[in-house]
Amino acid sequence: MAEIQPENMKGTTLDIAAENRARLKQLFPTVFTETRNDKGELTESIDFAKLKAELGTFSDTFESRRERYGMEWPGKKEALHLIQTLSSATLKPYRQESVNFDTTENLFIEGDNLEVLKLLQTSYYGKVKMIYIDPPYNTGKEFIYPDNFSESLETYLEYAGHEGRWKDSQSANAQENPRYHTRWLNMMYPRLYLARNLLRDDGVIFISIDDNEVSNLRKLCDEIFGEENFVAVFPWKKRTTKSDVPFGVSQDYEWVIAFTKGGLQAGVSYERKYYQTSDFPNDRWRLSDLTTQRSAEERPNSAFIMVDPKTGKSYPFNPHRVWGVSIDTFPEYYRKGKIVFPDDYDFFNLSIPAFRVFESEDKAKAIKKFGTDEAMKAVSTFLPKEIGMNENGNKEMLDLFGSKLFSFPKPVSLIKYFVSMISDTSAIVLDFFAGSATTAHAVLDLNKQDNGNRKFILVQLPEPCAPESEAFKAGYKTIADIGKERIRRVIKKLNTEEEGKLDLDNAAKQDRGFKVLKLDKSNFHQWQKLEPSASTERILDQLTLHIDHIDAKATPEELLYEILLKAGFTLTGNIETKTITGKELFSVSDGALLLCLEESVTKELIDAVIDLNPQQFLCLDSAFHGNDQLKANAVQTFNAHNMQKEKHNQILFKTV
């Protein structure tokens, strides 16, 4: 019998624990068993003894020993629990603070970065090529993210609007504090864990740090990213004048720690390891990732089961990261020898098909980009002398603002150097400790330099500027305000430099804009779990919210962006409005998603949507006005359509 209720869109962030269990089940389905809990309900559990047997560690001599190598600190379990706690928050768009809002693919997000990283999981999982962050160094003097901000969205919103309360929360993390290091670790651990999820398999993270926490950061990254994925530590000379001389030694260097997500396949250099095989005697070759940063919703033609023509073995697609070829182009790529399957060669340990790249192709690209194929060499940890120091970062702020509004900004040249290591000129670059927005400045500058199309996502807490600071006196209330204004001024500067030049067409193609989004409560009232002792009035309030669950103050655009965020669409896709059977709909990513926020839907609208064949159709549950027959007919109509179509042509119908 057909389901008569449409699927409801989840109002919370990606369930990390559930996703991990699903991946484990895909690899080891036999270790999952059904058991009954204390209430007699059937639940799914993991047989860990069987899992150890599957992994070949069942007879481990040291299995009973409790000692194990690893990093432990007070609060680590709570930090892990924090990662798994779902968020129902949203990101609200602010057009008036943005530049080229409707066309840009760059984002500036104002809010607590832990909450924001959770919100980005669904839409940006596995899509970020590079992360650069300059987190608090834990010097005992600077602002440390208070623990209570990570406990409650309401707490963050309460403090965000009240400078006095926020100031009171900023107690220095003094070195005499017995939790001096643990506070910093508890702040960093969940953020790095969630950041890793956002990286592509070939993605790289660079983290600036000084001597205070460099050893702890290295161990933390070893655990989260894996020791085998450590790339290097880059020493950065921050000054020439001697200062802060403990034990008579001036600490003139900071460190940039680099890790990859996917090990050696990721890399940050142009050095390549090539193979010579008898089936391609005239050209050496290497392997590259065959998946792309697009999801199944964005690239339905690339969401297909790939079959090895030689063996008949099937390889399913990853819905968050589909194949880099389509079902139509696969035969031609395979004919040209561009696809390598796990069984093709016995000297690889492939689990999924890979892409073959010939040395001649790499050399041609290197000559085009650098003028010589000699550019294909390893990157040294010794940074070039052209890389600036603190004084250069200060001068860049002075040039833009005429005064020193931000303490110790990193020089643009430092971040440009790391971004330039990444060969993908269309990469997404994330910085979730954005500060004065140096990363955005670097991306915009580098795009102008090499005509690239890199995109940035910046996240910054609206930390208030001190009343006695130059920034506050200049009219900037928060650090986030400084960052946004810096990006505006950089865009204006770059556009001014292009005026009167012959390459205006190329300049017009550059994405010199950014969308401002701010962390806020969901526009959809969430059902709250009540205690048995809850008052009748409280219960009635919850029932009322359940009946009319949309915030009356929410604009259609705010609803749209929350739905995009939680339906798995990026926040920078093409958005158009269409009128269909007299109803206004949002068309997202060239019709991949059709969203109707009208107060009522009709059978005629449902039929018209099916004719347009989007990947998803969403409408308000309240738009059916309690007409269960109309809702059931809509579900059955979509089900009938989907039964006649291939999987990649089916329509997902949801209500919100």
pLDDT (0 to 100) of residue 270 = 45
CATH number of the structural domain spanning residue 476? 3.40.50.150
Let me know if residue 435 belongs to a domain: yes
From 487, 520, 553, give the residue that closes a domain.
520
In-domain check, residue 211: yes
421 lies in the same domain as 456: yes
User: Which structural domain range is residue 303 located in?
Assistant: 285-375
Q: Distance (Å, rounded) from C-alpha 82 to C-alpha 70?
A: 20
Give CA–CA dist 428/438, Å, rounded: 15
Q: Is 646 helix (H, G, I), strand (E, B) or coil?
A: coil
Of 459, 486, 520, the domain-final residue: 520
Give me the residue label for tokens 């556009």. 495
Domain assignment present for residue 622? The answer is yes
Q: According to the model, what pLDDT value does residue 105 have?
A: 96
- Which pair of tokens denotes residue 69? 């190598």
At 44 the pLDDT is: 78
Cα–Cα distance for residue pair 253/243, rounded to 1 Å: 11
Last residue of a domain, one of 354, 375, 396: 375
Q: Are residues 121 and 245 in the same domain?
A: yes
145 and 102 housed in the same domain: yes
Long-range contacts of 8-12 (CB under 8 A, 24+ apart): 8/621, 8/654, 8/655, 8/656, 9/563, 9/566, 9/567, 9/618, 9/654, 9/655, 9/656, 10/566, 11/88, 11/522, 11/524, 11/526, 11/566, 12/86, 12/87, 12/88, 12/566
Task: Name the strand (E) or helix (H) holding 595.
Answer: strand 593-596
Q: What are phi and psi of 355, to 5 degrees?
A: -105, 135
In-domain check, residue 277: no
- pLDDT at position 13, please? 75
Q: pLDDT tens, 161-173?
A: 655 555 555 555 5
The model's pTM is: 0.77
DSSP state of 368: H
Note whether 392 and 411 are same-domain residues. yes
Q: Is residue 194 part of a domain?
A: yes
Rounded Cα distance, 181 and 173, in Å? 9
State how many domains the chain has.
4
For 90, 360, 456, 553, 595, the CA distances from 619, given in Å and listed in that order, are 18, 51, 31, 18, 6
User: Are 398 and 251 in a shared domain?
Assistant: yes
Q: Do 515 and 390 sit in the same domain of this protein?
A: yes
The answer to whether residues 263 and 313 belong to one domain is no
* Helix H or strand E encompassing 428: strand 428-431
Strands 42-46 and 32-36, bridge-based pairing: antiparallel
CA angle 383, 221, 46 (to 5 degrees): 155
What is the amino acid identity at position 482? I
pLDDT beneath 50, residues of the chain: 1-3, 59-66, 147-150, 178, 264-267, 270-271, 375, 528, 530
If asked whether residues 621 and 573 sit together in one domain, one would say yes
Scan for tokens 């100031």, then name that residue.
Answer: 167
Q: How many CA atoms lie within 13 A of 499 on its CB side?
A: 7
Question: Are 502 and 636 found together in one domain?
Answer: no
Q: Is the domain of 124 the same as that of 240?
A: yes
Residue 529 located in a structural domain: no
244 & 316 share domain: no
Q: Specify whether 564 is located in the same domain as 432.
A: no
Quick check: is 496 in a domain? yes
Tokens of 264: 């050696």
Within-domain flag for 279: no
